[in-house]
């Protein structure tokens, strides 16, 4: 498994490797680093075993363990991985910076880089953190990062605050607008498909209708300003929309029923891997020539 290198104004976060063992053991040699752990990582054997666990981690692509470097020196570690403490294996963030570098905002900087990667690049719906009840400094870091305190529980052998952060709306699609030649046909095809995916009608007016999911809505409109009578997806402009579908089974079911609602399959001879062996998706086209790609969110194997 290969993790991306993350950079900030002062730090480099790169994948933890065997060559980092001695440096990480040194970081945790300070007893203060183990103050809120059940284990005493100032013991070199315990710290080395902790490094072993991090090095042998295997999980979802893009998640894992980073070494935190400043000016070429390893000053801590960070991780983003499925939680072993919270139900459902939700993604959990952890960040540890050597005591000698405390009070400089470096833990916040490192954790923000991992959060941006998880929420922005990986598209995770939420990221969780567990912070010891008495770890005031780490709780302040979490608050600066926008984590919300949603309760407490016994985790890692002691009382921890349970924290969560969600993606912001900044930079995300507000709405998508499709100009269509035939509003009734668009309602038949798009209305059915979006409804099956959980979108709900949002607005309606004589020339158009929209459907909304979360903070994003999609508009189809038969505008009087249309300059052509048909959509051609191979011309400059919109080629297709790609939408998440929770499971492969649901992709199959939608593909089977789509022809009854104005969609025809594209690349049927290569279904469901027309986009590649690790990409499970259906490609459909409606009567007006608009293409949609339905991508299964489950089933992509973890990166080796």
Check: CB of residue 79 under 8 Å from CB of residue 6.
no
Could you write out the three-class secondary structure of 112-158? HHHHHHHHHHCCCCCEEEEEECCCHHHHHHHHHCCCEEEEEEEECCE
- Predicted TM-score (pTM) of this structure: 0.77
Per-residue pLDDT tens digits for 56-93? 999 999 999 999 999 999 999 999 999 999 999 999 99
- pLDDT over 60 (residue 304): no
Mean pLDDT of 107-122: 96
Residue 299 predicted with pLDDT over 60 = no
* Percent of the chain predicted with pLDDT > 70: 98
pLDDT for position 302: 39
**pLDDT over threshold 70, residue 280:** yes
Mean pLDDT for the stretch of residues 243-255:
96
Q: How high is the pLDDT of residue 1?
A: 63
Share of the chain above pLDDT 90, in %: 92
Q: Which pLDDT does position 2 carry in this prediction? A: 83
- Condensed to tens digits (0 to 9), the pLDDT of residues 141-163 reads 999 999 999 999 999 999 999 99
> Which residues touch 166 (CB under 8 Å, ≥6 apart)?
119, 125, 126
Rg (CA), the chain: 24
- Span 21-41, pLDDT tens digits: 999 999 999 999 999 998 999
Average pLDDT of the chain to the nearest whole number? 94
């Amino acid at each position: 498994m290969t993790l991306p290198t993350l950079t900030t104004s002062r730090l480099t976060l790169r994948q933890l490797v065997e060559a980092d063992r001695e440096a990480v053991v040194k970081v945790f040699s300070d007893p203060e680093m183990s103050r809120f752990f059940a284990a005493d990582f100032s013991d070199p054997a315990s710290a080395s075993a902790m490094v072993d666990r991090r090095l042998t981690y295997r999980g979802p692509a893009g998640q894992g363990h980073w070494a935190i470097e400043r000016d070429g020196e390893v000053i801590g570690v960070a991780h983003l991985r499925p939680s072993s403490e919270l139900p459902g294996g939700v993604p959990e963030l952890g960040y540890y910076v050597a005591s000698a570098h405390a009070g400089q905002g470096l833990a916040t900087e490192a954790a923000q880089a991992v959060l941006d990667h998880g929420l922005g690049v990986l598209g995770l719906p939420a990221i969780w953190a567990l912070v010891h009840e008495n770890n005031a400094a780490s709780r302040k870091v979490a608050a600066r990062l926008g984590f919300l305190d949603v309760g407490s529980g016994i985790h890692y052998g002691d009382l921890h605050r349970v924290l969560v952060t969600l993606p912001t709306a900044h930079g995300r699609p507000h709405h998508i607008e499709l100009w269509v030649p035939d509003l009734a046909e668009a309602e038949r095809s798009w209305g059915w498909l979006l409804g099956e995916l959980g979108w709900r009608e949002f607005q309606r007016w004589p020339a158009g209708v929209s459907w909304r999911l979360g903070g994003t809505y999609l508009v189809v409109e038969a505008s009087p300003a249309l300059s052509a009578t048909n959509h051609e997806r191979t011309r400059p402009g919109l080629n297709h929309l790609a939408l998440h579908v929770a499971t492969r089974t649901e992709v199959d079911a939608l593909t089977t029923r789509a022809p009854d609602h104005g969609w025809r399959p594209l690349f049927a001879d290569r279904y469901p891997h027309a986009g590649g062996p690790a990409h499970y998706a259906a490609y459909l086209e409606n009567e007006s020539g608009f293409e949609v790609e339905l991508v299964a969110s489950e089933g992509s194997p973890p990166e080796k």
